[in-house]
Amino acid sequence: MKNGTKAAIHRRNQLLASLEPDDYLWLEPHLEVVDLPRGKVVYQTEEQIRHTYFPHDAVISLVAVLQDGGSVEMAIFGRESVFGVMSALIMHQSFGRYVTQIAGTASRIALDRLKDAIDKRENIRRLLFRYTEALLAQTLQCVACNAVHSVEARCCRAILSTRDRTDKDDIPLTHEILAEMLGVQRSTVSSVTSTLQRLGLISQGRGTIRITNRDGLEKTACECYRATRQSFERLLPSSR
């Protein structure tokens, strides 16, 4: 693969694309493109983290796994993000289960290499610190959302957040994936999505959800969708 082609692929991730040329060139030799098929568990809870990932078109959820086997999403990662970076700053164990919800690719770098970049490259360090602040805001908003908002509003938020990371109104979201993201039963998701379809906000196909009325979906979503999006836009201009 030619260097120009590799750079174009790596820079599908907005954080990598926003780096100054010198900073990108410092990282580029250590980046590799990897496939993330749907359903792949990248890291289990407390698993040793050895790489961090900059997604291109893949969408990954960080979910908390409960003792009864249930789970609920704590954060979502797409082309605007990197996951595993908190471990480079704090510890080398996964905070939860990272699972690919929408298949795609990512640029992967060894954790030690990224930590070296954070230590030696001020612009990289500043960018990742700003991203970490945006991620913390997203995670705290998600905690509040899960505690107080209805499943219907949260489902709209999840659909919109996933759409923002794919740029497609046809989203490969199954009821099983949505149930894991929302921490509810599949039957609950089926009931909610049927209601959204009757309202003309979405239409459902086999393993897909199509957004048919984005404005209406945003009005039905809870405030957390807009609050999280505004945090990323404020802290990371490249995510606009």
What's the pTM value of the predicted model, to 2 decimals?
0.90
Q: Where in the chain is the domain with CATH 1.10.10.10?
A: 150-221
CB atoms within 10 A of CB 81: 25
Report d(CA 114, CA 172) in Å as an integer.
31
Could you please state the CATH topology (level 3) that the domain comprising 3-122 is classified under: Jelly Rolls (2.60.120)
Q: Where in the chain is the domain with CATH 2.60.120.10?
A: 3-122
Decide if pLDDT at 70 tops 80.
Answer: no
Residues 20, 23, 25, 27, CA torsion sign: negative
Decide if pLDDT at 2 tops 60.
Answer: no
Instruction: Express each pLDDT in 72-126 by its tens digit.
Output: 888 899 999 999 887 656 778 888 899 999 999 999 999 999 999 999 999 999 9
Helix (H, G, I), strand (E, B) or coil at 193: helix
* Residues linked to residue 109 through DSSP beta bridges, in sequence order: 52
Question: CATH assignment of 150-221, given 3.40.50.620, 1.10.10.10, 3.30.1330.10, 3.30.300.30?
Answer: 1.10.10.10
Instruction: Express each pLDDT in 175-201 by its tens digit.
Output: 998 998 888 999 999 999 999 999 999
